[in-house]
């Protein structure tokens, strides 16, 4: 179970735990944003951080975000979307010693159904998306 304060030696170690968490919680997270070390240094971070770690990473539920404005003509979207404004997220940041990633905060309060039946189709779609994007 992922909890605030958990540390991971690498981003891949976190991904293993994230997959387990997604299975347990019947939800799917995606990487929403990353702050690399160079950007963090530009913002004034001066402490040591291992080169292979990002400074900060935000993972959000696939149902997060907001739908784009509907077209005024027929008041409907042209494409389907998973977005429902779900607030669930996991935020990681480089630890104080700069040698690991630490879970800074988690919000696991979903505003949608997370039962196994409802999420299985979403998981298949996201898994396919991840495979395609990895190529």
Interval 11-43: pLDDT, tens: 999 999 999 999 888 888 999 999 999 999 899
Three-state DSSP class for residue 116: helix
pTM value surpassing 0.85: no
> What pLDDT is recorded for position 86?
87
Interval 75-86: pLDDT, tens: 665 655 566 678
Is 90 exceeded by the pLDDT of residue 92?
yes
Q: How many CB atoms lie within 10 A of CB 107?
A: 14
Is 60 exceeded by the pLDDT of residue 69?
no
Q: How many CB atoms lie within 10 A of CB 12?
A: 9
All structural domains of the chain with their residue ranges: 7-134
> Which neighbouring-strand residues pair with 59?
31, 90
């Amino acid at each position: 179970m992922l909890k605030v304060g958990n540390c991971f030696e690498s981003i891949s170690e976190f991904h293993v735990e994230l997959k387990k968490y997604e299975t347990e919680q019947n939800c799917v997270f995606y990487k929403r944003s990353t702050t690399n070390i160079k950007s963090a240094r530009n913002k004034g971070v001066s402490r040591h951080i291992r080169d292979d770690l990002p400074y900060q990473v935000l993972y959000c539920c696939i149902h997060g975000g907001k739908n784009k404005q509907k077209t005024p003509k027929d008041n409907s979207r042209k494409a389907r979307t998973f977005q429902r404004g779900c607030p669930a997220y996991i935020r990681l940041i480089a630890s104080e010693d700069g040698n690991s990633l630490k879970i800074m905060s988690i919000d696991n309060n979903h505003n949608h159904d997370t039962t196994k039946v409802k999420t299985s189709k979403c998981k298949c779609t996201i898994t396919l998306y991840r495979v395609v994007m990895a190529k």
